[in-house]
Amino acid sequence: MDKNGAEKSSLPPLSAVARTLPASGIRKFFDIAAQMKDVISLGVGEPDFVTPWVVREAAIYSLERGVTTYTSNYGLLELRKAISTLLENLYGVTYNPDNEILVTVGVSEGMDLAMRAILDPGDEVLIPEPCYVSYKPCVALAGGIPVGVVTTHADDFTVSAAQLEAHATSKTKAVLLGYPSNPTGSTMPREKLVEIVNLARRKNWYIISDEIYDRLTYEGEHVCVAGLPNAFDRTITLNGFSKSYAMTGWRIGFACAPPDVLQAMMKIHSYTILCAPISGQKAALEALRSAESSVNEMVQEYNRRRRVIVKGLNAIGLNCHMPKGAFYAFPDVSASGLSSEEFAEKLLFEEHVAVVPGTAFGAGAEAHVRCSYATSLEKIEIALERIGKFMDKIKAGKVATSGHGSRPI
């Protein structure tokens, strides 16, 4: 019987893509952790800061004045102008606010639009992995085929043009780069990006560059891919306010691309989303006008935590490269003798610390876990103590290991 008491009838199958999409590997751990008391979560990929007050105040004020309408499909012109100025100032890349910038509902929507605008069924997209959980599903939902290109700890999880070329076929249409990287925290050196741009030009591929963590770069420079020679015409730049400005809940991002590509994305956006929410756009505009010092303060704080967590993990015996960007440490946990899934699960139950197993992010991360340092220094220090205790218990044979780890102790 259904809810209205009528006989239940069978339905046609859901779409094949929807049926085969895997559930996010991150959710499972959040759900378990949420039920437990006293958990320190290094699992969340979200700033622990509240959106700066000036930004919140601007949005509140706009609501008080009754600013509650749709905006242009492209987004508020003032905001697009401010985004254009930002990218010009930071990277010397010039996007025309009239037809090369689209305000989106986060990078999440920008990614979906980019894939739907460029892919035909069966087109392949090269994706260095481990990578952010939504990259492969976004390609699949647009009818494309995601092709993972495995990167390694030994290469600091960067990818080379040669690795990408080795995975190319006549169906390859684009390469998706996400640096600084979630989950590895790695950044890409300029020389490697130049080679990838040259390859993309030779093969006539699009480049989609997710630069959401650009401002959270602690060592070296962030290279905006579209600013490299020969890159602009084939690159879709995705960025947003969620991470740098602590504005995840406002759902504002932006996509920048040459006019024809942006126009295609805008058409899809206009029929599916119409426009990003106006209060969020007002807040984003204020963020660009007045929150620069807050961004710098948050970046400094992340940087402090980054050093503490990486030093602490290495001292415990978990080999952790120094991430140059984003807010994730990505230690190799094989010294525990546990697989990354087991490590995350047992650490949660034994010591109440939540981390995310590397397997949630694709191939190449089986021996790793992701530890977010977007949490207070105090909590990071307690988490490190607990992880140390957990490793001591393992050494004392007090935690059962299944022997699935790649290097049992």
Ligand X SMILES: Cc1ncc(COP(=O)(O)O)c(C=O)c1O
Residues of this chain that interact with ligand X (CB under 6 A) are 45, 106-108, 132, 178, 182, 210, 212, 240, 242, 248, 253
Least distance to ligand X, CB of residue 79, Å: 15
CA atoms within 13 A on the CB side of 313: 29
Report the candidate in 129, 127, 149 with the shortest Cα–Cα distance to residue 138. 127
Instruction: Say if residues 376 and 48 touch (Cβ distance below 8 Å).
Output: yes
206-210 and 172-177 as β-strands: parallel, antiparallel, unpaired? parallel
301, 216 in Cβ contact below 8 A?
no
Let me know: does 326 contact 216? Beta carbons within 8 Å: yes
- Residue 45 or 130: the one with the smaller Cβ distance to ligand X is 45
For residue 238, the minimal CB distance to ligand X (Å) is 7
Cβ distance to ligand X smaller for residue 43 or 178 = 178
Structure tokens at 408: 């049992």
For ligand X, the closer CB: 210 or 351: 210
From the CB of 106, what's the least distance to ligand X, in Å? 2
132 or 157: whose CB is closer to ligand X? 132
Closest-approach residue to ligand X (CB) = 106
Closest approach of Cβ 404 to ligand X, in Å?
28
- The token pair at 274 is 């119409």
Q: How far apart are CA 374 and CA 307, in angstroms?
A: 13
Instruction: Tell me how far, at minimum, the Cβ of 370 lies from ligand X, in Å.
Output: 11
Amino acid letter, 335:
A
Rounded alpha-carbon distances, angstroms, from residue 281 to 27, 247, 254, 288: 28, 11, 11, 11
Q: For residues 357 and 405, which CB has a smaller minimum distance to ligand X in the complex?
A: 357
CB closer to ligand X out of 108 and 151: 108
What tokens appear for 135 in the block? 């990259």
Minimum CB separation from ligand X for residue 107, in Å?
Answer: 4
Write down the least CB distance from residue 115 to ligand X, Å.
Answer: 13
Nearer to ligand X, 73 or 248 (CB): 248
Are the C-beta atoms of residues 355 and 368 closer than 8 Å to each other? no
Distance CA 319, CA 368 (A): 9
The DSSP symbol for 236 reads E
Question: Tokens in use for 232?
Answer: 């602009």
Smallest gap from residue 210 Cβ to ligand X (A):
5
Query: 250 with 275: CB under 8 angstroms?
Result: no
Amino acid at 89: N
Nearer to ligand X, 237 or 242 (CB): 242
